Amino acid sequence: MMLENGKTMPSVDAWLREAKADSSAPACGMYLTHNGVVRATPKAEARGVETDGVAPGHKVGGMVFGYDASKVQAAIEATSAMPGIGYVRVWLASGELAVGDDIMLVLIGGDIRPHVVDALQALVGTIKNECVSEVEREA
């Protein structure tokens, strides 16, 4: 159960190999990943919510991304405690990012699909809504 950081996203293949070699692997019947990337469509347009970022109809050229490591770690720990979850790993970028750059990688392993899907949904939602700062820059 770990948080990592860096400019270059780690290899999903390497993460899966490591997860399958972890002591939790015998109890894990599936793994799910989430790879978030910077998109050109503003959050206000894509999600239909008001933001102080780029206005709907305009294009995003990039963003400044940051996060609160202690909040992310708490979210990872809460996810790890969910029913059936045996493995959680998160990587987050930071700083200036361009359209197409990786923002985050999340890997969750657990016993059955409903548990793993629920855990991924909960963790990514918590990270996006409570732990990160995304400041869009107009193209």
Q: What percent of the chain has pLDDT over 70?
A: 99
Residue 1 has a pLDDT of 67
Strand arrangement, sheet containing 30-37: 2-5, 85-92, 102-110, 30-37
pLDDT, one tens digit per residue, over 11-41 is 999 999 999 999 999 999 999 999 999 999 9
Q: Give residue-wise pLDDT tens across range 68-124.
A: 999 999 999 999 999 999 999 999 999 999 999 999 999 999 999 999 999 999 999
Question: What range defines the domain where residue 14 resides?
Answer: 2-138
Token duo for residue 111: 């016993």
Which residues, 6 or more positions from 42, have their beta carbon under 8 angstroms from its beta carbon?
Answer: 51, 53, 54, 55, 56, 58, 59, 60, 136
Q: Is the pTM of this model over 0.85?
A: yes
Exposed / middle / buried, residue 65 (Cβ in 10 Å: 0-12, 13-18, 19+) = buried
pLDDT band at residue 6 under the 50/70/90 scheme: confident
Instruction: Give the pLDDT of residue 47.
Output: 86
User: What gap in Å lies between CA 110 and CA 87, rounded to an integer?
Assistant: 7
What's the pLDDT at 7? Answer: 80
For the cut 90, the answer to whether the pLDDT of residue 52 exceeds it is no
Say how far apart CA 107 and CA 123 lie, in whole Å. Answer: 10
Domain of 40, CATH number, reads 3.90.1170.40
Q: What is the pLDDT of residue 65?
A: 96
Split into its structural domains, the chain has a count of 1
